[in-house]
Amino acid sequence: MSITVRYFAALRERMGTAEEVIDAPAGTAAELVAWLVARDDQADALAHPSTRLIVNDEIVSREHALSSGDVIAFCPPFSGG
Amino acid sequence: MMLIRVQAERFDAGALLNKMSGADSDCGAVASFSGQVRGGNGLTALELEHYPGVTEKALTRIATHACKRWDLRQAVILHRIGRMEVGEEIVFIGATAPHRRAALEAVSFMIDTLKTQAPFWKKEFDAQGERWVETRAEDDRAAARWLQEEEDMSA
């Protein structure tokens, strides 16, 4: 399935890109992370518990089931204000 | 009335406060918080990144939550993005209410929850280079305290 993946702040710098469209097997957000880590060691930071996942503009858990066309964003802990 | 804005441009906190002060005749209280870039430790500048669209939604949710919990007339959240020098303003939070406790608590609630709920990221610059700011445990505790209070109230 086609998924748009976005990376922010420190994760964007670590992954070397702000956004990519990938063709990943169907599954949960956690399974997508495992797939990304298998593809590229640098992606291990995505698996860190402090990394927040936002799918189609809503914060979700790692058990969230992804659908084709979803936009998933990987976010380091927020530090605004 | 709610005002939510994310902008790169500088803003005048005094002018925002004056505008809020005269808006509602039944308000006895106007409270605000202004955050600015802290110097010292060799810091020269900050850069703020955010998640366009999602940030505005998160800020709207925080202000809406404050309006439900306290009797407010106005709730204002304005946050800058991009590069800022030492002493420049970063964020303005404001609330007006008939009574002071509501205005003061709402401002405190909005800045505490903004820090953990809105997708902003700060990068610091100094003579040694640059680094992303990490969330401080006390920020997490401050936000958690408000939610704990709500759970206690509904229990």
In order along its 155 residues, chain B shows pLDDT tens digits of 999 999 999 999 999 999 999 888 899 999 999 999 999 889 999 999 999 999 999 999 999 999 999 999 999 999 999 999 999 999 999 999 999 999 999 999 999 999 999 999 999 999 999 999 987 888 889 988 988 888 888 87
Q: Within an 8 Å CB–CB cutoff, is residue A78 touching chain B? A: yes
| Residue span of the structural domain in which A40 resides | 2-75
Q: A54 in a domain, yes or no?
A: yes
Q: A80 in a domain, yes or no?
A: no
Total-model pTM? 0.93
State which residue of chain B sits closest to A75, comparing Cα positions.
Answer: B119
The domains located in chain B, with CATH, are: 2-149 (3.90.1170.40)
Write the DSSP string, chain B: -EEEEEESS---HHHHHHHHHTT-TT--EEEEEEEE----TT--EEEEEE-TTHHHHHHHHHHHHHHHHS--SEEEEEEE-EEEETT-EEEEEEEEESSHHHHHHHHHHHHHHHHHHS-EEEEEEETTEEEEPPPPHHHHHHHHHHHHHHHHHH-
Q: A81 in a domain, yes or no?
A: no
Q: A62 in a domain, yes or no?
A: yes
Domain count, chain A: 1
- B49 and A8 in contact by Cβ < 8 A? yes
Q: Within an 8 Å CB–CB cutoff, is residue B110 touching chain A? A: no
Give the tens place of pLDDT for each residue, A50-81.
Answer: 999 999 999 999 999 999 999 999 999 999 99
Which residues of chain B neighbour A76 with C-beta distances below 8 Å?
121, 132
The CATH number of residue A66's host domain is 3.10.20.30
Q: A38 in a domain, yes or no?
A: yes
State which residue of chain A sits closest to B136, comparing Cα positions.
Answer: A79
Give the tens place of pLDDT for each residue, A4-52.
Answer: 999 999 999 999 999 999 999 999 999 999 999 999 988 999 999 999 9
State which residue of chain A sits closest to B119, comparing Cα positions.
Answer: A78
Q: Within an 8 Å CB–CB cutoff, is residue A48 touching chain B? A: no
